[in-house]
Structure 1
Amino acid sequence: MDERHLYLVRLIRDLELSPAPVISLLAGDHDDCEQATGVLEMLARSGSMEARQVLRSYIREGEHWVDVLESVAGCWPVEWSDDLADVARSRLTGDEPLLWRCEPVGALAASAAERLAERQTSARQCCGGTERQPAAGAAR
């Protein structure tokens, strides 16, 4: 853990400062984004919904989204970010598909697949275990 991150988190949290200056660093270069991500991750883990939502939004729209996704996937509880697997898949280009083979992002993909399977099971159970059959004479 970077001591600077912890120091900044404590300042923001204990003095009830706005995280806006840290959030603005996400728009900077790779190093700025990395610093901001570390601080915002810690703020989120300490209870800041704002920090959590900012990072989730950044993964959806930000320039360095892959780095942020890898970082939050490694330190957040899975339930905070498992739905981002679908968002990430939609943003993949070039060499990024290799991302799904690496931890911790691979765990997000697995969690998303489990969530989908649970939904499908629930839907089948909800419908009495029967699937709708096409009407007689309906085109397939």
Structure 2
Amino acid sequence: MKKKVAYKLEQTKSIIVEVETVEQEQKIKEFNRDFERIDRQNRRIIAKTDSLEQMYEETGYEVVDDSTSPEEQYEQKELKATIAKAMEGLTEKQKIVIYKTFWEEKTLREISRELNVHHSSIEEIYSLAMKKLKKYFEKF
């Protein structure tokens, strides 16, 4: 059964989209929530712009913002979700080796010592995991 869901394009514009699955509906609702959050952040930033410009004119010092933009935050969230989805296709051993390699920045030798597993076994687990991940990401 198709269901119609509002999909926000801008603050005041949206379109109605027919969805066939609950997942599609949830994705659109999640996107709308993210859009509204980003829009609120943008409005706050715009409201503060005048005071920052005034501060610069008065002092000559420019304020530097090291924080990530809402767009970057959204991209990071999407990337994390994609990586998590890709990791679902790995065995538990593969997940552990990939996690320790990339998040803990350990070498395969360090992992083999830590897990008390022969180095060649860890290399094989790593190799198979990387092949699976590569195959998953080739879809994109």
* TM-score category of the 2 structures, normalised to the smaller one: under 0.3
User: Per chain length, whose mean CA-contact separation is higher, i.e. which structure has more relative contact order (CA < 8 Å, sep 6+)?
Assistant: 1
Calculate the TM-score normalised by the size of structure 2: 0.22
Larger Cα-atom Rg: 2
Calculate the TM-score normalised by the size of structure 1: 0.22
